[in-house]
Structure 1
């Protein structure tokens, strides 16, 4: 009997040890996977469009780019990453600033090529390591930090931030965070414009603790989403999960913003939720160039009855008030 019990004991211990090893492996794997880039360094080279300006702005700009990483005392932010035109160090001019709000479980370190490409168009672009940015709090703190650098004579960013030209970008959970960043904080009035890709619809955002009031948005806003089922499942989002950003939510958000605010809503044909980070690149960049650099060519994407976005087969369900 003792031998039987001993065998059973050894078997149980071996099984427990196997479970521990398996769990340890999965934890290590998940940790390593969380550090892997989610887009390739030259992802923009694969962008497809028959629209001249969308194709142009989805690519690289003319500026050489540098990166600085600065530790944060905030355990959620962990590190600020700031991409900027390399010439900034030797020029006396100020550059427009874009703050990026991360999507769910996504830190800036896993999509650095996104920031670098955007900065190549003449922007200072800043991100952080917050993987749950839906409240907009770390976005607000990040903006404050960069503005502090702008006032610090020992910083390379001293006097280099164009404080009248600050934009914010957010995807998915980060879309809700970007909306909150421009509406709920003491520095919300610092932003000149906002772009969101598949921002979590209002009821979903509320249930997740990222509730926003779209009626408070008072700056030019370009909102986008995909037509795929992950963004729009076709279900009623009031009674079931309608996708992260169904067309109905874009319509509600668009209509909830005052008509004296320039606003654009549009969806990318065939794009799933996970595609939005790269599929929206061309017109997201054009929007920021138009709003923050007063780029007249980029303006042609959005303004008037002949705006390029209106005839671009990549985009549909377009509504704009200018």
Structure 2
């Protein structure tokens, strides 16, 4: 079944214009301290939305792939002087939003001790360029400055909007997807919408801890009766709940929606808990785990989040 042309056109326009608030336009950039304006009464959300303790450096490397253009790495500056290995987070861009458009976001995440990897692909929904980027970092030559510095047993995957669909595709539709150890998506295009736009992923194949979020605003959830007959928003609650049920119960899974957030706002609204999820899953951080694990998890009591479901 295909959505009618007019609806499909509207969907594409929304995904392109709302990939991440304020950075889909050609010249827009994130302020270096964009996170400073975020405030939460939930102490762990507030903590992990801000800078970590690591000074951050970055490096770019050319790609022969025309969509990727450049492999981009942000990492703890101490990496250049130590033999320590660092966990990796691979980031899948939202529509029309190459990594160069939101460098401050990568820098903030890297300050928590991750090597954060991006590229310049503005259309990531198939997961292909994400898979190619993963291949690149898994097979660095011995003379590469990052050779031996990446803990390839601890690789996380993050994607927003179209990039959420692309992250799920990268994890489920490519052989090297087995390398990922945790996934987070922000307002990922829901399965029926993704199929209509040529972005296929199979939630039943997700075998790693998965944290999915979206906003309650109408751009994510239009409140339609049947989201397979009309556009339901980019990530409606009913579709998220169906996706949650398709996920294996053998892996930790969490669903939550940011109260009042529109599609383009979920990027900043989810920053703190996305960071906590990756610290928990990739580093075993016991404080970050308190956001999610157990009956007293912070996310269950945070008034800025609703519709929370989790299986641990």
Partner of residue 252, structure 2: 262
Give runs of aligned pairs for residues 137-216 of structure 1, distance below 5 A: 137-149=128-140, 152-216=141-205
Conserved 8 A contact 2:48-2:276: yes
User: Are residue 239 (structure 1) and residue 229 (structure 2) matched?
Assistant: yes
State the 1:314 CA deviation: 1.1
State the 1:210 CA deviation: 0.1
Partner of residue 10, structure 2: none
CA distance in 2, matches of 1:266, 1:272: 14
The structure 2 residue matched to 1:308, chosen from 293, 298, 301, is 298
Partner of residue 70, structure 1: 61
- CA-to-partner distance for each residue in 1:143-187, whole Å, 9 max, x for gaps? 1111222xx221121111111100000000000000011111121
For 1:243, what is the secondary structure of its paired residue?
Answer: coil
Partner of residue 285, structure 2: 295
CA distance in 2, matches of 1:298, 1:51: 12
CA distance in 2, matches of 1:239, 1:180: 23
Question: Normalising by structure 1, what TM-score?
Answer: 0.88
**CA gap 1:155/1:273 in 2 versus in 1, 3 angstroms:** same
The structure 2 residue matched to 1:282, chosen from 272, 297, 302, is 272
Partner of residue 10, structure 1: none
Partner of residue 93, structure 1: 84
CA distance in 2, matches of 1:204, 1:38: 28
CA distance in 1, matches of 2:90, 2:265: 20
User: Are residue 125 (structure 1) and residue 116 (structure 2) matched?
Assistant: yes
Partner of residue 214, structure 2: 225
| Matched pairs, number | 289
Conserved 8 A contact 2:158-2:167: yes
Q: What is the root-mean-square deviation of aligned Cα atoms in Å?
A: 1.2
**Which consecutive unaligned segments of at least 5 residues does structure 2 have?**
1-22
State the 1:38 CA deviation: 4.0
**Which consecutive unaligned segments of at least 5 residues does structure 1 have?**
1-31
Question: Normalising by structure 2, what TM-score?
Answer: 0.91
CA distance in 1, matches of 2:244, 2:30: 30
Partner of residue 136, structure 1: 127
Partner of residue 71, structure 2: 80
State the 1:39 CA deviation: 2.3
